[in-house]
Amino acid sequence: MYKILTFNHHETYLAWLAQTGHHFDVVTQYGSLSLPWLHDRVPCPPNVNLVPWGKEVQKKLREGYYDMVLCHTVKNLIWMFPYTRSQFIFLQHIPLFRYIPTLYIKSWVKRWVVSIFCKTHACKLVAVSEFKSRSWQFPDTSVIEFAVLPFPPVYSDSEAKIVMVGNQVKERGPELGWPIVEPLLSEFPITIVGMNPQIPNSVRLKDYATFQEYLRQFSIYLYTVQMPYGDGLNCSLVEAMSMGMAVVTLYNPTSPIQHGETGLVAHDLAELRLHLQTLLQDKELQKKLGENAKKMVKERFSIVRFVEQWNAVFSSAAKILN
């Protein structure tokens, strides 16, 4: 069993990691920065110890108490520069974007920090998808796709309705596909779930259990993230697939959706509109696509695969310092 220090930027992901069986100290306060574990989103596993950043953790780092330190952001790496006695893992959750000059500069700075850190510390790189890995452009990066614990299935007699999940969808604009989603809201029974104060009638739910139950009334999931703005998959999409929802998505080369098999893929607004109309009228096609999607998720995004791949990375990392 390894002793691992990390920071609470993604408690759902950390809950999956806890299933590897190792001991995790998770920092939930760094100076004035609060990183609270949201217990209503996911329970804290018994092998996860929530700790503040302070003298005790710093002493353990200096003495080499931790076998590994898992960093989720470039800021985490900057905090860890003074400490060299542990093996480090940098997990690429967020891609680097270069489609406008300001993002290009920010991406260059982030990549430069990671490059320097890897020269001064023992550090392995892991990405949560091929898209993220390619955006960072580091060789020898391991790709471990996230896992999804199955959601309760959609209600078999549910009315044909469409759901989209995302936070600040309007504010984030093209990143989440808002220019394409907005004209559809007046034409189709679409509900947007998440923190979206600028979108009338959007729904924000109080906790993860309520979120799971609420989604069961929908049979169609809308996903509108395109390149170069983001990945063709995220956790909410795969969770919807695990429930047996039929997915309608815009074309993205990193999407897990196969047109006509695990969902319907559109290339523009007109085609997206046509696919939504088709699914709303065809219950059998909804069911077929949903069942195929559920089967694919079980094979590709299983927690067993996730745990095996992470334990292989931990084992490989542990050998570097020994």
pLDDT single digits (tens) 196-252 = 999 999 999 888 888 889 999 999 999 999 988 888 988 899 999 999 999 999 999
Q: Count the neighbouring beta carbons within 10 Å of the beta carbon of residue 214.
A: 14
| The domains spanning 3-147+302-321 and 162-300 adopt the same CATH topology | yes
Show the 3-state SS of 24-89: EEEEEEECCEECCCCCCCCCCCCCEEEEECCHHHHHHHHHCCCCEEEECCHHHHHHHCCCCCCEEE
- Mean pLDDT across the chain: 93
Beta sheet of 246-250, edge-to-edge order? 190-193, 162-165, 220-223, 246-250, 264-266
Of 23-32, 76-85, 140-149, the range with the lowest mean pLDDT is 140-149
CA atoms within 13 A on the CB side of 118: 17
| Distances in whole angstroms, Cα of residue 90 to Cα of each of 73, 109, 113, 136, 141 | 8, 16, 12, 12, 10
Cis peptide before 228 (omega within 30 of 0): yes
Please give the residue that has the higher pLDDT: either 23 or 153.
Answer: 23
Alpha helices in the chain (DSSP H): 11-17, 55-63, 74-80, 101-120, 130-136, 169-172, 178-181, 208-215, 235-243, 269-281, 283-300, 303-321
Q: Which fold has domain 3-147+302-321?
A: Rossmann fold (3.40.50)
Give residue 155's pLDDT: 85
- Beta carbons of 296 and 240 less than 8 angstroms apart: no
Spatial neighbors of 220 by CB under 8 A, at least 6 apart, are 160, 161, 162, 163, 245, 246, 247, 248, 276, 279, 280, 286
Domain ranges of the chain: 3-147+302-321, 162-300
Give residue 228's pLDDT: 86
pLDDT single digits (tens) 156-176 = 777 889 999 999 999 999 999
Angle among Cα 242, 217, 235 to the nearest 5 degrees reads 35
Whether residue 17 has pLDDT greater than 70? yes
Section 109-134 average pLDDT: 96
Distance of CA 58 to the CA centre of its chain: 29
| Distances in whole angstroms, Cα of residue 234 to Cα of each of 152, 166, 175, 255 | 18, 10, 13, 9
Q: Which CATH superfamily is domain 162-300 in?
A: Glycogen Phosphorylase B; (3.40.50.2000)
Give residue 320's pLDDT: 67
CA–CA distance, 218 with 215 (Å, rounded to integer): 6
Whether residue 20 has pLDDT greater than 80? yes
Spatial neighbors of 238 by CB under 8 A, at least 6 apart, are 146, 148, 256, 297, 301
pLDDT single digits (tens) 176-201 = 999 999 999 999 999 999 999 999 99
Q: Residue 6: enclosing H or E segment and its boundaries?
A: strand 3-7
By CB atoms closer than 10 A (0-12, 13-18, 19+), residue 149 is: middle
Q: List, as own/partner pairs, every contact residues 32-35 make where C-beta atoms lie below 8 angstroms and the sequence separation is at least 24, other chains included.
A: 35/7, 35/8, 35/9
Give residue 151's pLDDT: 81
Give residue 322's pLDDT: 57
Give residue 75's pLDDT: 96
pLDDT single digits (tens) 5-16 = 999 998 889 999
- Beta carbons of 322 and 68 less than 8 angstroms apart: no
Distance of CA 99 to the CA centre of its chain: 22
| Distances in whole angstroms, Cα of residue 143 to Cα of each of 140, 239, 241, 255 | 9, 20, 21, 16
Token couple for 153 = 């299935």
CA–CA distance, 48 with 20 (Å, rounded to integer): 11
Give residue 60's pLDDT: 96
Please give the residue that has the higher pLDDT: either 149 or 50.
Answer: 50
Q: Count the neighbouring beta carbons within 10 Å of the beta carbon of residue 1.
A: 9
Q: Which residues pair with 48 in a beta bridge?
A: 24
Distance of CA 231 to the CA centre of its chain: 10
